[in-house]
Amino acid sequence: MLRAFSHTNGRCVFHYTKCWHHRKSVLAIRREDVNAWERRAPLAPKHVKELTKMGYKVLVQPSNRRAIHEKEYVKAGAIIQEDISEASLIIGVKRPPEDKLIPKKNYAFFSHTIKAQEANMPLLDEILRQEIRLFDYEKMVDHKGMRVVAFGKWAGVAGMINILHGLGLRFLALGHHTPFMHIGMAHNYRNSSQAVQAVRDAGYEISLGLMPKSVGPLTFVFTGTGNVSKGAQEMFSALPCEFVEPHELKEVSRSGDLRKVYGTVLSRHHHLVRKRDGQYDPVDYDKHPENYISRFHIDIAPYTTCLINGIYWEQNSPRLLSRQDTQKLLVPVKSAAGAMDGCPELPHRLLAICDISADTGGSIEFMTECTTIDNPFCMYDADQHITHDSVEGSGILMCSIDNLPAQLPIEATEYFGDMLFPYIEEMLLSEGSEPLEKQNYSPVVRNAVIASNGTLTPKYQYIQKLRESREQAESLKMSVEKRVLLLGSGYVSGPVLEYLTRDSNIDITIVSVMKEQLEQLTKKYRNVTPVHMDVLKHEEKLSSLVKKHDLVISLLPYSAHPFVAKKCIDNKVNLVTASYLTPAMKELQESVEAAGITVISEMGLDPGLDHMLAMECIDKAKEVGATVISYTSFCGGLPAPEHSDNPLRYKFSWSPQGVLLNTVQSATYLKDGEIINIPPGGALLDSVTPMDFFPGLNLEGFPNRDSTKYAEPYGIQTARTLLRGTLRYKGYSRAMGGFVKLGLINPDPYPLLSSTAPPLTWKELMCKLVGIKSPAEHHVLKEAVFSKLEKDKSQLEAVEWLGLLGDELVPAADSIVGALAKHMEMKLPFGTGERDMIVMRSEIGLRHPSGHLEDKFIDLVVYGDNKGHSAMAKTVGYPTAIAAKMVLDGEITAKGMVIPLTKNVYGPILERVRAEGIMYSTRSIIKQ
């Protein structure tokens, strides 16, 4: 019988003795058919040759996909045939399809069933039903528990090649050509020797100093000390590299030699510390990993260019990197004085992670889905908590392929076969139908038998218990599953969906009239069901939908909220909106309380975050006995300065009609003890004040609605000044004033613009508005409009720029302002690559018991993401979603009308929006 093999000068030497009965046994190597990239086999021709020398019959199923050609197996003595039913042992690399299993046979492959993996439970059920004996390579371990049959090294080798290729692409996207551009994916090389040569060639260029200076020294961190990590390090060593201790990374990342790259191997003691005393005790850690935390994100990651992760995560043990850790690591670095556009610095130090462990949701918490050989890379954006299939944009380059050795299939097959071969004969000489107890297996083989004779073996009966526990948990999960009805699919819906769908227990139904938006959102986010309808026109259907859900989020225009709220009251369902608590909503207060539901309003940016930031400051002031003597807060959603290139200095990331109507609303505020009233109709635009707190932005501001009503809710009746206002770039109010003069901001019904009326051009409409007969010559209309604008050239420029004197058709609408809003939405959108920004400044004047005065300044500036959410969407959507989640989770239990003015509401929300990258700053000036 075959008993052992050894390596001599790199060659495998097999030692065997012959048994008179071995000719009766037949081995079959099955065809791999689960994955298109799976070109490996469990044994190479050299192993088959040894088996046939011993008199065993070896069958190989034909496969044009297998990397080692069939003729090599034939030369080794194998028989190529489809039918493998005469074999007593059938081996493969990956699992076979259930319908290809043959009853009462011995099978050996990676089954991925030992953790009761749900996807493979049907396979295990079929194995049990057909009384198959299953040997799982993953459980072939020695007396120390170390695996003796694995592809580990080649996962490390292939992973390292891939991430060097990925770094080349990522550097190029960031504006740098590097030697890594000449390294391909691992499967592009015939063998690892060719890959090594490509890496050496890149290394030679690095040694010549051809890496861009502005990227700084490159550092690679390897986690783990097993074969995976060693394989990666072996390939890395083809570069001009120097291995340093982890504590030396900080220094070399700043002042290392650009003609080499640096590596370090990380063990547990380098980053794990006990919570209570900051020490590491390996014995204690093995017993109580939950008592430890990782300092990787503090001590190692800030100085790491590329992380090569080869460790698996065990439940209760600290993770290597969390999402919150990564958000901090991706804060842009401050540019050096000598940085130039053509030679940019890196946006942050940590550029790439190659998670060779492919352990989803494991030591790299945010690696929740593996990449593939076809699509090997994605970018993880920690701010948005999303991944996108690209090497461009914000975030970290991720590579987490779960079948890496398949990229170097010939060497991987030979390596794996060398490890498996010593155990083949004892598996081969038994019949799957015979009782397991009668088999004379070695401990390595016996311990790898998962199932035999129709039952799980004693060592693996826990799998059934795991399944039952999971099924029970799933059943419980179904019972506590939460259902959310989201009304509206506009700008804000993206962050709301992104945040809520992180919880797999939340199912969302989204309703909108915009079919294309619905399709895009349901493709992008899981657990989302679309309903295409106009809720205002399908009252009964809306009521039916509300009844089936635990919570409604309305992102509809504020005028629709009372209608939605009534349906929530009727069905006793909670409601969250981002809009103002209007008089029409306040009228429902008693009905809401009688229904015993929670209706949350003013949970966006303004109103919303402005309330929360104010109350955080006011409550802290009251704690030290201070009184508020003044409160002013201005907020605006704007295009980023570089995109404010039109006469209005404005673009739309929010409801155009709402923006337009705000300019003709009335306003009331308190100034130095005097109440100031501004009537509706446009007088607001005459109350514009320059705002110089960010001089470079050239801002102006005007009052917003009734500020005085917040004195009581804020608890600041002592304030002599109370003003809340809107920010715009200088010139906006003047341009909008022109539209008011022309009667374009008119919300009254205008039948001539209805969908059933004859089409009307802007030129014809303007003739009606300025009182001249249509059609009119262009210069006649222009002069009449100019006169109506009181000869204001900048206002005329805005009218002409929007094409309001031309022959373009006016969009059908109920009112003139509705038509103008639709027109502006088409004329003033954010273009591809353009971004918006949010600016908020609150100033709170305090008087302390000592008599001295203090001015508190709160600044919030948020930019939109070129390929992600707009700043407006983030600052409205995330607070709304967080509040909704708090209601669902029972954190907000108050009944009736709620706005975020109490610490139990605003405290958690402000903390959680910071985790989403919405950062604010505060400062004080003390006056004697």
DSSP string, 600-626: E---BBTTBHHHHHHHHHHHHHHHTT-
DSSP string, 488-518: --STTHHHHHHHHTTSTTEEEEEEES-HHHH
Q: For residue 348, give every residue at least 6 positions away whose Cβ sits within 8 Å of its Cβ, in sequence order, or none.
A: 329, 330, 331, 332, 333
Of the candidates 342, 439, 294, 355, the one whose C-alpha atom is nearest the C-alpha of residue 156 is 355
Provide the H-helix boundaries in 288-337. 323-329
First-last CA distance in the chain: 96
Separation between Cα atoms, residue 471 and residue 465, nearest integer Å: 10
Active site residues: 606
* Two tokens, residue 210: 């051809």
Q: For residue 288, give every residue at least 6 positions away whose Cβ sits within 8 Å of its Cβ, in sequence order, or none.
A: none
Counting every residue, how long is the chain? 928
* Two tokens, residue 559: 């005028």
* Two tokens, residue 123: 């396979």
Separation between Cα atoms, residue 385 and residue 124, nearest integer Å: 35
Separation between Cα atoms, residue 379 and residue 170, nearest integer Å: 10
Separation between Cα atoms, residue 106 and residue 121, nearest integer Å: 18
User: Are 236 and 221 in contact, with CB atoms under 8 Å apart?
Assistant: no
Collapsed DSSP state (helix, strand, coil) of residue 356? coil
Separation between Cα atoms, residue 432 and residue 91, nearest integer Å: 13
User: Are 503 and 528 in contact, with CB atoms under 8 Å apart?
Assistant: no
Collapsed DSSP state (helix, strand, coil) of residue 56? coil
- CB burial of 892-911 (b: ≥16 within 10 Å; e: otherwise) equals beeeebbbbbeeebbebbbe
φ/ψ of residue 486, rounded to 5: -105, 120
Provide the H-helix boundaries in 237-347. 249-255, 268-271, 282-287, 323-329
Q: For residue 396, give every residue at least 6 positions away whose Cβ sits within 8 Å of its Cβ, in sequence order, or none.
A: 326, 330, 350, 351, 352, 353, 379, 380, 382
Separation between Cα atoms, residue 898 and residue 600, nearest integer Å: 5
Separation between Cα atoms, residue 630 and residue 687, nearest integer Å: 19
Residue reference for tokens 């290809």: 100
Provide the H-helix boundaries in 789-815. 793-801
> Dihedral of CA 153/156/157/158: which sign?
positive
739 in the Ramachandran plot: left (φ > 0), alpha (ψ -120 to 50) or beta? Answer: alpha
3-state secondary structure 217-231: CCEEEEECCCHHHHH
| Beta-carbon count within 10 A of 927 CB | 10
* Two tokens, residue 313: 């995560």
Collapsed DSSP state (helix, strand, coil) of residue 878? helix
